[in-house]
Amino acid sequence: MAESEVDLESEQYEKHREAGAILAQVRRETAERVEVGASHLEIAEWAEDRIRELGGKPAFPVNISVDEEAAHATPSIDDETTFGEEMINLDIGVHIDGRLADTAVTVDLSGNPELAEASEQALEAALEVIEPGVDTGDIGAEVEDVIDGYGYNPVVNLTGHGLGHWEQHTSPNIPNRAVSQGTTLEVGDVVAIEPFATDGGGKVTEGSSAEIFSLERDGTVRNRQARDALEQITSEFRTLPFATRWLETDRPQMALRRLKRNDIVHSYPVLKEDDGFLVSQKEHTIIVTEDGCEVTTS
């Protein structure tokens, strides 16, 4: 779309801004509640309920990733996990009528403040270079340079991403390292910039557990619980990710197994660094403007 055709005051961008304002408040309030001994499940459900109280809806389940975990960790039904002296990443999303905002912050209870600072400063450096015409590979170079300067590694197989209508991850990808062939950002692009820093090798792999799912395709199933779950998924979550604990049907785990077996939903396994290493994360959502960018989640 030509720059002159983009109306940054249109309803869709106002909804992105509204989602971002709600999300910034919820991120701050949620981070303040994280302390040793606090419950993962209570924190996640409090944040999701707070989003609804403020007029938004969760764009995905609150991610609470601990130590080597980088993404896709959310409490299970009746989860009894509590926080210890750990590095905790909170990744939270809000949508208004499918227009999204996405943000993350590290709460360090582990005694490694420089690792948390590395991802935070990498995000600041990335935001400074964003403008129409910038190559995403150049954004990645800024992220990599800052994290390297702290003596850590960027997580290279996780990226920032575009935010579409009812789509949490769309093009363009925003790498966390320099790449030779990126994508050029344009006025009106809505993207999430999210550096990850680690004292590990810089590549995450899938773990064995998954509590987050999303709709893969339309389909039909005979099982009653699976049918009930599918009806809720298609009407309430559409294509956005949801948690097992959000399903109102009896035996939601069994319902999801049936839906997954029929390729109607797909799972998001927890992504991890190697055991013994830590991951920090900082993320903002931005709108590319004619002279730079507007951070919707600050």
Residue 283: active-site member: yes
Question: What is the C-alpha to C-alpha distance for residues 70 and 75, in angstroms, rounded to an integer?
Answer: 14
Q: Strand pairing partners for 280? A: 197
Question: Pick the catalytic residue: 102, 108, 189, 211?
Answer: 102
Cα–Cα distance for residue pair 90/107, rounded to 1 Å: 8
Select which of 45, 161, 199, 284 is catalytic.
161
Residue with tokens 């009106």, as numbered in its chain: 188
Per the CB < 8 A criterion, the answer to whether 127 and 159 are in contact is no
Binding site residues for substrate, as ranges? 72, 169
Known binding-site residue numbers for a divalent metal cation: 91, 102, 161, 194, 283
User: CA 51, 119, 84, 28 torsion: positive or negative?
Assistant: negative
Any catalytic annotation for residue 194?
A: yes
Tokens 């896709």 sit at which residue?
72
Cβ pair 198, 277 in contact under 8 A = yes
Terminal alpha carbon distance of the chain:
27
169 included as an active-site residue: yes
Q: Annotated binding residues, as ranges?
A: 72, 91, 102, 161, 169, 194, 283
Grouping H, G, I as helix, E, B as strand and the rest as coil, residue 205 is: strand
Label residues 193-206 b or e (16+ Cβ within 10 Å = b): bbbbbbbbebebee
Separation of alpha carbons 113 and 54, rounded Å:
31
HSE-up (13 A, CA, CB side) for residue 246: 25
Nearest residue to 62 via CA among 200, 276, 246, 233: 246
Q: Which of 114, 117, 169, 266 is catalytic?
A: 169
91 carries an active-site annotation: yes
Active site residues: 91, 102, 161, 169, 194, 283
